[in-house]
Amino acid sequence: MQFRLLRGSILAVSLSLATVPAYFAGEPNPPCGTGAAQSPIDIKTKKIKTADLPPLRQDYRQVTLNLIDNSHSIQVNYAAGSTLTVGNKVYTLKEIDFHHPSETRVNGKAVPLEAHLIHADSGGKVAVVAVLFDLGNPNPLLDVLWRNIPTEKGKAVNVSAASITAADLLPAAPGYYTFTGSLTTPPCTEGVIWYVLKAHKTASKEQLDDFARLYKKNVRPVQPVNDRQILQTK
């Protein structure tokens, strides 16, 4: 996951992309190397607490597809007006990116693909909804995305012929795990609220292979949980 709005400036973005490899341990620019609440993590379900948590209300509009290959991942830039509401907090959907295999692990296990739906509130607080994909039936939205991946890296393309909604990435069941963490690419900014959906979606072997041809393993290793509390819905 990367989130441009949290970076100091566009210049800082291009500098960090030019000088820092996308995924590695011991990143030189703090808090990647020093943070105590980093992402991704391995969720050990036996060690977490069950709590009475508010439902995620995801009101995602149909938008014109805007896509960029940002050298970390394939990223959808989402047009304004789609929201995630959790209790009295409202976040706007900004970007979606993908990781192969998943960055998030559950009881040590990764799955073939993970989507990060990256939101921010009006004060810049970031909330990520993570969706895990098992091997199975093709996801129709992934077909539309993969078909329109720009040939040139770093240049966003607007695909006026393609209307999409992030709702097509969501499983039907509402349960989730939640904890605080960070962005998973430099600058690894902390204070990000994570919602990892318990139910999975599926992607076909062909869809996974197509993504893997571009990004064979765009995954940051799991980070120590330390003293963070991980909660799950009932």
- Active-site entry in 72, 99, 116, 119: 72
**DSSP secondary structure string, 86-121?**
ETTEEEEEEEEEEESS-SSEETTB--SEEEEEEEE-
119 is catalytic: no
Nearer to Zn ion, 182 or 207 (CB): 182
We find the least distance from the C-beta atom of residue 75 to Zn ion, in angstroms, to be 8
Nearer to Zn ion, 1 or 126 (CB): 1
Residues that bind Zn ion (CB under 5 A): 1, 97, 116
Give kind and range of the element (H or E) at residue 42: strand 42-43
Nearer to Zn ion, 100 or 116 (CB): 116
Whole-angstrom distance, CA of residue 54 vs CA of residue 45:
19
Whole-angstrom distance, CA of residue 86 vs CA of residue 91:
8
- Residue 130: beta bridge partners? 116, 196
Output Rg (C-alpha) for the chain, integer angstroms.
17
Look at residues 42, 77, 81 and name the one whose alpha carbon lies nearest to residue 62. 81
We find the least distance from the C-beta atom of residue 98 to Zn ion, in angstroms, to be 7
Nearer to Zn ion, 27 or 97 (CB): 97
Return the number of other C-beta atoms located less than 10 Å from residue 111's C-beta: 19
- The residue with its CB nearest to Zn ion is 1
We find the least distance from the C-beta atom of residue 124 to Zn ion, in angstroms, to be 18
We find the least distance from the C-beta atom of residue 171 to Zn ion, in angstroms, to be 18
Report, as residue numbers or ranges, the catalytic residues.
Answer: 72
